[in-house]
Structure 1
Amino acid sequence: MTDGPTHYPPPGAPLPEEPEPPRAMTGGTRPPGPPAGGPPPPPTPWAPYAPQGGGGPAPQPGYLLGAAHKPGAFPLRPLTLGMIYDGAFRLIRFNPKATVGAAVLVTAVAMAIPIVITAVLTFTVGLAIDASGDVESEISTADAAGLVAAYGSLLLSIVLAQIGVIFVTGMVAHVARAAAVGRRMSLGEAWAATHGKRWRLLGLTLLINTVFLVLFVVYVVLWVLVVVVSPGPWPIVAWGLITVPAMICLSAWLWTRLYYLPVPPLMLEDVGVFGALGRSWTLTSRQFWRTFGIGLLTVIIGSIAGSMLSSPASFIGQIAAFALPEYAALLLVLTQAFALVVQNAFYAPFLAAVSSVQYLDLRMRKEAFDVELLREAGIVS
């Protein structure tokens, strides 16, 4: 005798056949037996107790609700923190090319630029770093120009890699939407799904980063003015005690309401840049602390994990630079590029997956979006 199924049946599977209920033993009555001379009848089991309130045996859980409401990476109902993280890891695991692969591809292509430039300069001009950390070369002018070109190209490539990561976040939003109904997306399909929204995505990123930059510049200017016109140290201390916590709270509030969630609605809904900001504002209304807590925890986990993955490469690069000073610039650029590729391979898909699943969760909580997803998955008509 078995203990029953260990896994929920897949969506759409027929319901298991219910066993014939056993006959209860009654006083002086025996169930009909086999013909004379045959084997003895098996012992008849006792009838199960009925649940409180009558109605016969309780239905077995899981057959009607468990699997039917999870056609894809996560259940189609309001999600807990564990479900959000589990769904994010599942959609990354089952769509590796469109998530991790995309992040690795864009970062590697961008970081190939400084590697090639530094390699050419190393084997032509002869960039080298001595034991004291000073750059030395046969021709100081050529060396200075080569150093600027090498590290300038590294900085430019980091910016290009981050632009590529912006496109990856848009792709992951489509991957999450497809994973909700049990469909996988390839790298080409995810890239094609962002068609018509790529420039808007860049514009959205530029706008929200400009807002934060302007806010920071204004705050710094106010600090300078307070320091200049203050008659003593106490007004400066009071200004800091009041404005520093206020600035942190304002930044966290704007980050949660406008920065964290606008990419999924821009990608998945028929809205523009300002419409995506409005959707983010609407979805996070009365959900601020939950959204902020999950987002902050995700950033912390991603940052720590990304640093742990990339730190060995940076450490090896520094040791190799001291061991081989004639190739120090090339080794440093090479290891920094590899470290950024490894970091983006985890951090970018993870953060984008969590924010996309959280966006779907907010829509299911506030707009009954789970009904539309269930209908699309073919579970309800």
Structure 2
Amino acid sequence: MMFDLPDSQTLYQALLSRDAAYDGRAYVGVTSTGIFCRLTCPARKPKFENCQFFATPGACIEAGFRACKRCHPVDAAAGNDPNVRRLLAALEARPGHRWGEGDVIAMGLDPSTTRRAFKRQFGMTFLEMARQRRLRDGFTTLSAGEPVIAAQLDAGFESPSAFRAAFARLVGVAPGAFRKDAQLLADWIDTPLGAMVAVACQHRLHLLEFADRKALPREVAKLQKRHPGGIGFGRPAVIDQAAEELAAYFAGQAARFETPLAYHGTGFEAEVWRALREIPAGETRSYGQLAKALGRPGSSRAVARANGANQIAVMIPCHRVLGADGALTGYGGGLWRKQRLIEIERSLSTSAA
């Protein structure tokens, strides 16, 4: 079950001491190996800077980590549900298979029951878990400069058209449309709240979104239209800088971002985004307060629309804006992420004080 994770230092100490109190409640992803474990894992302990902590195995898988073969974190999270364990064993045996509801039914299982059981245990369905593993393998291959056919095979898709269709659904651009000589380059950044897709040129970050955001395909497509040079795969220094600053942020070390950003919007939208960056970490504003700060009282709805048009999550902190009554309002990355980002920043501001 989900619960609010304590700070990373507390979790790291629990990892070092193999604290059983966190078993099934927190997991560690090790960036140097790409593996995630239970905190009680007997394996050699990683350095703190190589650790990312998650509340569920599903979040670890979304961030691109593979399950440890010593502590079997996915099996442990399955509990005593025999159907969940059976499907996990089937996925382990055929990780590249293109799983569908027909396969679940063929195993004599009810898809709706299975869907609820996986959601309860992992925060994602069985089919989502299988798809995340396949697409991540394919994206990694493409980022390394391999041809689409190699990515297709690594992702376990039987045909190029199936892989292209799945990839297009994720980022809005078919793999074949990505150019080797592109000015804009795309790559993944892993975070404790899930993988993020970053797009940057050699000088500025143009897009940063959680990979599961529904608006991501539309945003990538808009970027592609604006830039005749197209989009390719790669990791320029700007994305490296963004990854380092995000790692410090999620580790509770700093909330200041120096990565140069490119604003793709109207003059008013850019004005709103700059105002968002001026809200101190640990504080929030209502749309009305933000409108007044811009000298535009009565433009709350326009401010809200500009907030929703933001294409650079976290670094342009649209999560710091709440409803007039202080309630969480819409957030493209999910309200649970908005709540967690606010909690992280309040912890940061408390530590600074």
Quick check: which has more Rg, 1 or 2?
1
TM-score, reference length from structure 1 = 0.21
Asked which structure has the greater RCO (Cα within 8 Å, sep 6+), the reply is: 1
The TM-score with structure 2 as length reference comes to 0.22
Q: Which has the higher helix share?
A: 1
Q: Which has the higher strand share?
A: 2
